[in-house]
Amino acid sequence: MSLADDLGRARAGLAQAMAVLRAHAQGVVPYELKAGGGPVTAADLEVDAVLRALLPGPGDGWLSEESDDDPARLGCRRVWVVDPLDGTRSFVAGRPEYATAIALVEDGEPVLGAIGNPATGFVVSGARGLGVRVEGDPQLRWPGAAGPAPLRLLVSRSEWRRGEWAGVDAATTLLPLGSVALKLGLVAAGAADATLTLHPKHEWDVAAGAALVRAAGGEVWLPRGGALRWNRVEPRFPGFAAAGAGQRARVAPP
């Protein structure tokens, strides 16, 4: 099966996932707390089941925030890396800052991504060598900033509330959002210039967006140095940074 076929399947899965999330978003969203303290809803689990039934082919591995981790993935050449609902806190609170993120990691590198925000209908999808397709309007509202062309930087809403971005250069425009995957998708779509965090994130948060940013000509890296490695035993990074084409030199940690 070709990467184009995989991308078609990912787009179909994303459409199904977004329909599930829209249905669950009607009214109050019940939730439970996971062992790590984060919320999980019936929507998270339903999307996980839908995507797991649709995406992996024979011999493909699976890594999802809402599935028990099967170490067999470590021996797979191809691994689907999925966050069924990134930004569950926003989803529960009724904020539109959440997304489904689908990635395919092949030979240790993310080669395909599909990210969708059901609240706005914004979707970005693409793959290595196939470019990026953007659908819908993310409805971002950037505040004003000094300078003729400020750096449009998406940051964590919780980091912003804690004041971690208070000392940023005045020529940088900050916009806080709740979903890691959505921020990366917006960078890939050209709706933002960069996103950055120095806090740990999991592969399922980052993989789809990393594939998309790279497919759009941008870069993804570890701001404290080191190499990005995927499909690891402990699928977590000590933070990450991503920038659109030609924007990396403008990005610096807070």
Determine the pLDDT at residue 253: 61
Average pLDDT, the chain: 94
pLDDT band at 1 (very low <50, low <70, confident <90, very high): confident
Residue count of the chain, please give it: 254
**CB neighbour burial string for 201-217, b if at least 16 within 10 angstroms, e if fewer:** bbbbbbbbbbbbbbbbe
CATH fold of 151-250 reads D-Maltodextrin-Binding Protein; domain 2 (3.40.190)
Say which residue, 98 or 253, is predicted with more confidence.
98
pLDDT of residue 36: 74
How far is the C-alpha of 142 from the C-alpha of 139, rounded, in Å?
10
pLDDT of amino acid 182: 98
CA distances from 81 to 13, 196, 232 (A): 13, 21, 12
Predicted confidence at residue 143, as pLDDT, reads: 83
The predicted pLDDT at position 164 comes to 93
Amino acid at 245: A
pLDDT tens per residue, range 175-233: 999 999 999 999 999 999 999 999 999 999 999 999 999 999 999 999 999 999 999 99
pTM of the model: 0.95
Please provide residue 206's backbone torsions phi and psi, each rounded to the nearest 5 degrees: -110, -30
Cα–Cα distance, 46 to 44 (Å, whole number): 6
Question: DSSP assignment, residue 96?
Answer: S
Query: What burial letters (b/e) apply to 140-161, b meaning 16+ CB within 10 Å?
Result: eeeeebeeeebbbbbbbbebee
Asked if residue 173 has pLDDT above 70, the reply is yes
From the list 85, 76, 96, the residue with the least C-alpha distance to 50 is: 85
Which top CATH class is 3-135? alpha beta
Q: Residue 148 pLDDT more than 70?
A: no
pLDDT at 145: 54
Question: Of 119 and 146, which is predicted with more confidence?
Answer: 119
Distance CA 212, CA 104 (A): 11
Pairwise CA distance, residues 111 & 108, whole Å: 9
DSSP 3-state of 26? coil
Kindly give, in sequence order, each residue whose CB lies less than 8 Å from that of residue 24, ignoring residues fewer than 6 positions away.
Answer: 41, 42, 43, 46
Name the segment(s) of the chain with CATH classification 3.30.540.10: 3-135
pLDDT digits (tens, 9 = 90+) for 91-127: 999 999 999 999 999 999 999 999 999 999 999 999 9
**pLDDT in the model for residue 28:** 86
Phi, psi of 99 (to 5 degrees): -160, 160
- Report which listed range, 141-150, 155-164, 180-189, is most confident: 180-189
Token readout for 209 is 């967006």
